[in-house]
C-alpha cells in the first residue's frame, strides 16, 4: 500500500490513528477531576507541540539516524523557518500556506550553505562546526540583523504592517483560506471534554506526511546509501563513490523538516525570537532523538512526545497534587514519599529529564523504542531460545 | 594606544577563564580520549564552592542580649558567626570577606573527589563507545549536575564579592605613563589573570618535572607501551581527570566575584571553551592555553568601537568565525600534532 511494505504500512496506520484520535486518547481523565487537571495532555496548545516537535525530530533523525553525523546546531533551521513565516505574515497576509512554503524553502537554502561547509569535516568536528554556525546565527539575530529579526523584542505582526494580500474581513490571526487556526469544537461526553482544533489537525496532517516521507526515505536506495556511509564512509570512498552529494542532500532534507516545524510554530503563534536558535534548543532536539531511539522510524515521535509531556505535565505537578495523589497512605509515609519526589517534579522536571536521558544513553543505546522491543521480546510467547537470539541481534544492531 | 592596552587586558582576563577550562578539557581528552561535555558544569560547581565557603564562614548562632531591646520591645537578638569565638569579631569579619580566596582549600578536595567519582562511576564505561555517545552521556550529566545545583541554591545568581583589598579598580595608565584615568581596570580581574597564570604554570611544571607527570605524558603518547612496562596507567589517568576537574573548579571559584554564580554559567562557558580546544588543537595542552588567550584578545579587539564601525556585529561572532576558518583550513588546530583527530 502506498509503496510501503505491509509492516511499514501498519506502522503508518498506527501513527495516523494515534495522531487523529490524540484529542481523545490524551484525555483519559474527567476534566474536573484532580487527575485530569494534572495529567490530561489533550489540550490543543500541547498537542500542536507534540506534532511540531515530532516533525522536527523526524527530520533530525534522517540526518543523525541514517548517516551518524551529529548536528548540534539544528535549532538554527527552526529559527530561520519561524522568521521566514512571520515575515510572510507581515508582508502578504495571515494565510499560513505561503508562510509555511517559504519557511521550508528558506531553511532549505540556509542548510545548503551550512551543510556545504560543515560536511567537509566529520565526527566531533562536524558537531562543533554546526554548533558554531548556529551560535553565530543566534548572535547575529540578536545584534546586527535587528532590522530583520527585531532583536530582543522578537519578530511579530503589527497592525501597521502592509499585508498586501490580506482580503477584506479575513481573520486577524493565522488561518488557512479563512479558517482560523484557533477555531475549535468542544465535545462533552459525560464528565469528559474533548477539544478538536483546526490548528492541531493541520499539524497532525503535516506530521503524518512527514512521517510517510521519512518511511519512504528510510526504505529507498538513497536511505540505503546513507546507511552505508554511516557504517563505513572510507570504504565507500575507496569504491570510487562520491559520498558528498548524498550527505548534503540528507542535511538539506533534514534542514527543510526543521524549517517546516519552525513555520508551523509561527503559524500557531505569530511571533518568534532568537532564543529559538540558542544551542540548548539544539541540544534539546538531540535529547529527543536519542531518548526515542535514533535510526528508528517511530523513535523521534516517541522521544519528542515524552519530552514535551514531561515539560508541560511534570512541571505542573506541585506538592498539592502530590498530597492529593498519595492521600490514601498514612501521614508519615506520605510526607516521606512527597519529600523524595519533590525535587523531581515542578521546577525540577529537567532533573528528571536529565536522569532519564542518562539512563537511556547508558543502558539503551537504541532509545525507548529498543526498551519497548526488549519488553516485547520478554513477554512474547516465542520459545526462550528465539528470544535470546533476538536479543543478541538487537544488541549488535540496536533497534532497526 | 590606551584603548588597545585596555582591550588586551580585557582579552587576557576573559582568555584566562577560557584557557583554564580548555586546559582541563584537553587534559581529559589527551589522557582518556573522552570528549567531556560536563566540563562547564565542573566550572560551575567550583563557583558554587565559593558560595558554600561564604555560607560556611557565616554560619552563626543567635545571642540574646537582655540589656538591650529592639523596636518591638523584645530582647535584642544578634547573630554571631561561630568563627567569632575563635578569631574574635573582627577576625571573623575579615575571614568572611576573604571567603572567595579561602574557598580554594574547599575547591581542591571537592573537585578532586567529583572528578574521581565521575571517571570511576560513569565515564570509565564509555571508553569503548563512540565519541557521540560520550558527548551525549556527559551532556546528560551536565544537565543533571546543573539541576541539582539549582535545587540546592535556587535559580537566582548569588553575589560573592572579592575581598575589599581587591574589590576596587586601579589606574594602570599612570604606571605606564599615560594620562590619569586612561586605563582603569578592576583589581580582581588582574588577580584572576595572575592566578590563572600560576595555575597553568603549576600544571605544566607538574607534567614536566615530576615522575608522575612523566609517566602521564608517556601514557598520552603511547598508552599500550606504558601499560606493558608494568605501570598502572589507568589509575594515573583517573587522577588526571580529578586534576582537570580541580583546575576547572579553581577557575570557577575565582571567577565568582566577576560573574555572580548561577546554575547555567557552566553551559554558557562550555561552548566557547570547546571552540578554544578545537582552535588550539585537540590534545595539545600548550595549544589550549595559547588559543584561550588568543581568542580572548581577539574578542576584546572585536568589541572596540572602531572595529565595530567597520564590521558591525563582529564582536559577537569573531570566535566562531575563527573556529570555522581553522577547522576548514587546518583541522588539527593551531598547535595540534599531525595525525591526531584529523578527519
The answer to which of A166-170, A240-244, B124-128, B200-204 has the lowest mean pLDDT is A166-170
- Has residue B68 been placed in a domain? no
Q: What is the mean pLDDT of chain B?
A: 86
Contact A122 B343 (CB under 8 A): yes
pLDDT at B180 over 80: no
Residue A216 is predicted with a pLDDT of 93
Interface test with chain B among A60, A132, A277, A295, by most B beta carbons within 10 Å = A132
Is the Cα torsion angle B206, B212, B217, B220 positive or negative in sign?
negative
Predicted local confidence at residue B62, as pLDDT:
81
Give the cell for residue A94. Answer: 495571515
The answer, yes or no, to whether residue B179 has pLDDT greater than 80, is no
How confident is the model over A254-259, as a mean pLDDT? 96
| Of residues A330 and A248, more confidently modeled | A248
- Rounded average pLDDT over A245-267: 95
Classify residue B321 as exposed, middle or buried by CB count within 10 Å of its CB (0-12, 13-18, 19+).
middle
Distance CA A284, CA A218 (A): 23
Question: Which pLDDT score, from 0 to 100, does residue B167 have?
Answer: 81
> Domain for residue B25, yes or no?
yes
Q: What percent of chain B has pLDDT over 70?
A: 99
The helix/strand/coil state of B331 is coil
The answer to whether residue B74 is domain-embedded is no
Mutation target among B156, B269, B316 for the A interface, most CBs of A within 10 A = B316
User: What is the percent of chain B with per-residue pLDDT over 90, rounded to a whole number?
Assistant: 30
pLDDT band at B183 (very low <50, low <70, confident <90, very high): confident
What pLDDT is attached to residue A400?
46
Phi, psi of B81 (to 5 degrees): -60, 145
Instruction: Tell me which chain B residues have a C-beta less than 8 angstroms from the C-beta of A139.
Output: 313, 316-317, 320
| Most confident residue range from A82-86, A184-188, B160-164 | A82-86
Residue-wise DSSP of B195-263: HHHHHHHHHHHHHHHSHHHHHHHHHHH-HHHHHHTT--HHHHHHHHHHHHHHHHHHHHHHHTTTS---T
* Cross-chain Cβ contact A132/B328 below 8 Å: no
Q: Distance from first CA to last CA of chain A, Å, rounded?
A: 21
Task: Region of B33 please: left (phi>0), alpha (psi -120 to 50) or beta.
Answer: left
- Option in A143, A280, A290 nearest B136 (CB): A290
* pLDDT on residue A393: 53
Q: Which of A167-176, A292-301, B67-76 has the highest mean pLDDT?
A: A292-301
* pLDDT grade for B34, boundaries at 50, 70 and 90: confident
Confidence band, pLDDT 50/70/90 cuts, at residue B128: confident
- Quick check: A343 and B137 CB within 8 A? no
Residue B123 CB coordination number (10 Å): 21
Q: Do A68 and B132 touch (CB under 8 A)?
A: yes
A80 Cα to chain B: minimum distance (Å): 18
The mean per-residue pLDDT over the stretch A56-79 comes to: 93
Q: Does A191 or A202 have the greater pLDDT score? A: A202
User: Using the beta-carbon criterion (under 8 Å), do A136 and B317 form an inter-chain contact?
Assistant: yes
**pLDDT-above-70 percentage for chain A:** 95
Alpha-carbon distance of A336 to A345, in angstroms, equals 15
Mean pLDDT (whole number) for B15-29: 90
- Which of the residue ranges A111-115, A376-380, B135-139 has the most confident prediction, judged by mean pLDDT? A111-115
Interchain pair B331, A121: CB under 8 A: yes
Is the Cβ–Cβ distance between A214 and A254 less than 8 Å?
Answer: no
Structural contact between residues B59 and B268, judged by C-beta atoms closer than 8 angstroms: no
In Å, the largest CA–CA distance within chain B is: 78
Quote the minimal CA–CA distance from A254 to chain B in Å. 19
**Shortest CA distance to A299 belongs to which of A289, A307, A309?**
A289
Range with the lowest mean pLDDT among A102-116, B121-135, B169-183, B315-329? B169-183
- Start-to-end CA distance of chain B, whole Å, equals 42
Candidate from A334-343, B71-80, B134-143, B303-312 with smallest mean pLDDT: B71-80
Q: How many domains does chain B have?
A: 1
Domains belonging to chain A, first-starting first, are 6-279 (1.10.3470)
Q: Is residue B336 part of a domain?
A: no
Q: Collect all residues of chain A within an 8 Å Cβ-Cβ radius of residue B312.
A: 143-144
pLDDT at B341: 60
Look at residue B77 and tell me if it is in a domain.
Answer: no
Cell of A363: 543502558
pLDDT band, very low/low/confident/very high, at A395 (cuts 50, 70, 90): low
Q: What does chain B come to in residues?
A: 343
Who has greater pLDDT, B76 or A132? A132
User: Mean per-residue pLDDT for A11-35?
Assistant: 85
Question: Across residues B130-151, what is the average pLDDT?
Answer: 88
B308 in a structural domain = yes
Q: Do A125 and B343 touch (CB under 8 A)?
A: yes
pLDDT at A114: 94
| A241 CA: distance to closest CA in chain B (Å) | 18
Q: Looking at per-residue confidence, does A34 or B140 come out higher?
A: B140
pLDDT band with cut points at 50, 70 and 90 for residue B269: confident
Q: A123: which chain B residues are within 8 Å (Cβ-Cβ)? A: 131, 341, 343
pLDDT at A399 over 80: no
| Residue A194 φ/ψ, nearest 5 degrees | -120, 130
> What integer is the mean pLDDT of B288-294?
92
A376-393: average pLDDT: 62
Mutate to test the interface with B, among A141, A351, A360 (most CBs of B within 10 A): A351
pLDDT of residue A250: 95
Flag the least confident range among A66-80, A150-164, B234-248: A150-164
Contact A143 B313 (CB under 8 A): yes
Q: Which residue of A lies nearest to B319 if distances are taken between CA atoms?
A: A132
Residue contact B275–A128, C-beta within 8 A: yes
What pLDDT is stored for residue A170 in this prediction? 76
**Residue B89 forms part of a structural domain:** no
Residues of the domain holding B158: 2-56+104-329
Answer yes or no: do B267 and A351 touch at CB < 8 A.
Answer: no
B135 with A127: Cβ contact below 8 A: yes
d(CA A378, CA B151): 38
> For residue A223, which of A379, A65, A18, A391 has the smallest C-alpha distance?
A65
Q: What's A348-369 look like in SS3?
A: HHHHHHHHHHHHHHHHCCCHHH
| Mean pLDDT across chain A | 86
Q: Report the alpha-carbon distance of residue B207 to residue B198 in Å, rounded.
A: 14
Answer whether residue B141 shows pLDDT above 50: yes
SS3 (DSSP) at A174? coil
Q: How far, rounded to the nearest angstrom, does the alpha carbon of residue A196 sit from its chain's CA centroid?
A: 21
Judged against a pLDDT cut of 90, whether residue A86 lies above it is answered with yes
User: 3-state DSSP helix/strand/coil percent for chain B, to nearest 5?
Assistant: 70, 5, 25
Work out the percent of chain A whose per-residue pLDDT is above 90: 34
- What own/partner pairs with CB < 8 Å and gap ≥ 24 does B284-288 have? B284/B26, B284/B30, B284/B333, B284/B335, B284/B336, B284/B337, B285/B23, B285/B26, B285/B27, B285/B30, B285/B203, B285/B204, B285/B207, B286/B335, B287/B26, B287/B333, B287/B334, B287/B335, B287/B336, B288/B19, B288/B22, B288/B23, B288/B25, B288/B26
Nearest residue, CB atoms, A135 vs list B144, B148, B320: B320
* CA–CA gap between residue B173 and residue B181 (Å, rounded): 7
Q: What is the mean pLDDT of residues A122-137?
A: 87
Q: Are B175 and A382 in contact (CB under 8 A)?
A: no
Do the Cβ atoms of A354 and B327 come within 8 Å?
no
Cell of B262: 548561577
**Each residue of A143-181: pLDDT tens digit?**
888 888 888 888 888 888 888 887 777 778 888 887 888
C-alpha cell at B144: 543533571
Instruction: Select from A70, A132, A362 the Cβ nearest to the Cβ of B320.
Output: A132
Cell of A59: 527530520
Nearest CA in chain B to A64: B132
Question: Which residues on A lie below 8 Å from B147 (Cβ)?
Answer: 348, 350-351, 354
The residues on A that touch B, with CB distances below 8 Å, are 68, 70, 117, 120-125, 127-129, 131-133, 135-136, 139-140, 142-145, 279-280, 283, 286-287, 290, 343, 347-348, 350-351, 353-355, 357-358, 361-362, 365
Q: Is the pLDDT of residue B76 over 80?
A: no
Q: What is the mean pLDDT of residues A302-324?
A: 83
- For helices A123-142 and B265-280, the axis angle rounded to 10 degrees is 120
- Give the count of beta carbons closer than 10 Å to the beta carbon of residue B266: 28
Amino acid at each position: 500500500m502506498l509503496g510501503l511494505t505491509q509492516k511499514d504500512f501498519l506502522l503508518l496506520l498506527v501513527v495516523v490513528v494515534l495522531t487523529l484520535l490524540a484529542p481523545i486518547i490524551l484525555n483519559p481523565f474527567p476534566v474536573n477531576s484532580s487527575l485530569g487537571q494534572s495529567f490530561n495532555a489533550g489540550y490543543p496548545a500541547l498537542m500542536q507541540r507534540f506534532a511540531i516537535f515530532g516533525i522536527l525530530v523526524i527530520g533530525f533523525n534522517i540526518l543523525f539516524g541514517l548517516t551518524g553525523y551529529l548536528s548540534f546546531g539544528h535549532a538554527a533551521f527552526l529559527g530561520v523557518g519561524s522568521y521566514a513565516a512571520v515575515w510572510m505574515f507581515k508582508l502578504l497576509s495571515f494565510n499560513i500556506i505561503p508562510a509555511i512554503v517559504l519557511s521550508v524553502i528558506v531553511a532549505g537554502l540556509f542548510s545548503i550553505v551550512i551543510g556545504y561547509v560543515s560536511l567537509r569535516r566529520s565526527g566531533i568536528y562536524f558537531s562543533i562546526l554546526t554548533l558554531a554556525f548556529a551560535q553565530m546565527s543566534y548572535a547575529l539575530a540578536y545584534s546586527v540583523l535587528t532590522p530583520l529579526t527585531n532583536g530582543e523584542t522578537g519578530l511579530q505582526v503589527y497592525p501597521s504592517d502592509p499585508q498586501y494580500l490580506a482580503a477584506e474581513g479575513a481573520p486577524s490571526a493565522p488561518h488557512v483560506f479563512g479558517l482560523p487556526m484557533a477555531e475549535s469544537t468542544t465535545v462533552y461526553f459525560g464528565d469528559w471534554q474533548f477539544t478538536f482544533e483546526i490548528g492541531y489537525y493541520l499539524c497532525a496532517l503535516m506530521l503524518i506526511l512527514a512521517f510517510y516521507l521519512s518511511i519512504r526515505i528510510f526504505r529507498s536506495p538513497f536511505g540505503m546509501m546513507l546507511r552505508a556511509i554511516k557504517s563505513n564512509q572510507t570504504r565507500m570512498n575507496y569504491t570510487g563513490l562520491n559520498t558528498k552529494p548524498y550527505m548534503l542532500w540528507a542535511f538539506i532534507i533534514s534542514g527543510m523538516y526543521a524549517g517546516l516545524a519552525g513555520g508551523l510554530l509561527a503559524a500557531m503563534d505569530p511571533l518568534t525570537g532568537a532564543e529559538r536558535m540558542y544551542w540548548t534548543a539544539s541540544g534539546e532536539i538531540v535529547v529527543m532523538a536519542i531518548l526515542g531511539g535514533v535510526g528508528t522510524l517511530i523513535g523521534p515521535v516517541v522521544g519528542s512526545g515524552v519530552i514535551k509531556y514531561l515539560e508541560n505535565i511534570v512541571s505542573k505537578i506541585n506538592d498539592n497534587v502530590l498530597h492529593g495523589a498519595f492521600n490514601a497512605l498514612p501521614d508519615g509515609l506520605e510526607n516521606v514519599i512527597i519529600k523524595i519526589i519533590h525535587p523531581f517534579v515542578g521546577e525540577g522536571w529537567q532533573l528528571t529529564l536529565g536522569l532519564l536521558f542518562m539512563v537511556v544513553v547508558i543502558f539503551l543505546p537504541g532509545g525507548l523504542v529498543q526498551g519497548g522491543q526488549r519488553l516485547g521480546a520478554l513477554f512474547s510467547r516465542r520459545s526462550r531460545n528465539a528470544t535470546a537470539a533476538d536479543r543478541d541481534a538487537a544488541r549488535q544492531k540496536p533497534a532497526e | 594606544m590606551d584603548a588597545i592596552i585596555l582591550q588586551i587586558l580585557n582579552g587576557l582576563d576573559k582568555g584566562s577563564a577560557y584557557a583554564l577550562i580548555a586546559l582541563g578539557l584537553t587534559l581529559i581528552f589527551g589522557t582518556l580520549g573522552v570528549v567531556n561535555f560536563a566540563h562547564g558544569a565542573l566550572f560551575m560547581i567550583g563557583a558554587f564552592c565559593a558560595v558554600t565557603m561564604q555560607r560556611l564562614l557565616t554560619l552563626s548562632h543567635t545571642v540574646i542580649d537582655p540589656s538591650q531591646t529592639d523596636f518591638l520591645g523584645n530582647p535584642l537578638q544578634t547573630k554571631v558567626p561561630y568563627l567569632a569565638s575563635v578569631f574574635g569579631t573582627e577576625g571573623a569579619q575579615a575571614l568572611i570577606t576573604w571567603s572567595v580566596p579561602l574557598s580554594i582549600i574547599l575547591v581542591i578536595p571537592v573537585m578532586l573527589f567529583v572528578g574521581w567519582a565521575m571517571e570511576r562511576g560513569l565515564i570509565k564505561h564509555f571508553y569503548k563507545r563512540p565519541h557521540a555517545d560520550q558527548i551525549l552521556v556527559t551532556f546528560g550529566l551536565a544537565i543533571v549536575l546543573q539541576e541539582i545545583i539549582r535545587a540546592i541554591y535556587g535559580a537566582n545568581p548569588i553575589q560573592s564579592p572579592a575581598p575589599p583589598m581587591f574589590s576596587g579598580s586601579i589606574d594602570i595608565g599612570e604606571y605606564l605613563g599615560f594620562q590619569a584615568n586612561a586605563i582603569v581596570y578592576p583589581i580582581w580581574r588582574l588577580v584572576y589573570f595572575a592566578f590563572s597564570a600560576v595555575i597553568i604554570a603549576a600544571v605544566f611544571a607538574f607534567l614536566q618535572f615530576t615522575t608522575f607527570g612523566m609517566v602521564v605524558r608517556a601514557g598520552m603518547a603511547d598508552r599500550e607501551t606504558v601499560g606493558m612496562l608494568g605501570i598502572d596507567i589507568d589509575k594515573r589517568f583517573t587522577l588526571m581527570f580529578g586534576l582537570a576537574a580541580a583546575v576547572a573548579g579553581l577557575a570557577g571559584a575565582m571567577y565568582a566575584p566577576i560573574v555572580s554564580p548561577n546554575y547555567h554559567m557552566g553551559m554558557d562557558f562550555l561552548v566557547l571553551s570547546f571552540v578554544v580546544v578545537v582552535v588550539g588543537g585537540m590534545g595539545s595542552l600548550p595549544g589550549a592555553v595559547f588559543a584561550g588567550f588568543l581568542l580572548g584578545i581577539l574578542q576584546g579587539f572585536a568589541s572596540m568601537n572602531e572595529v565595530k564601525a567597520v564590521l558591525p556585529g563582529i564582536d559577537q561572532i569573531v570566535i566562531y568565525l575563527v573556529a570555522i576558518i581553522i577547522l576548514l583550513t587546518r583541522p588539527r588546530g593551531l598547535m595540534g600534532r599531525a595525525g591526531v583527530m584529523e578527519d
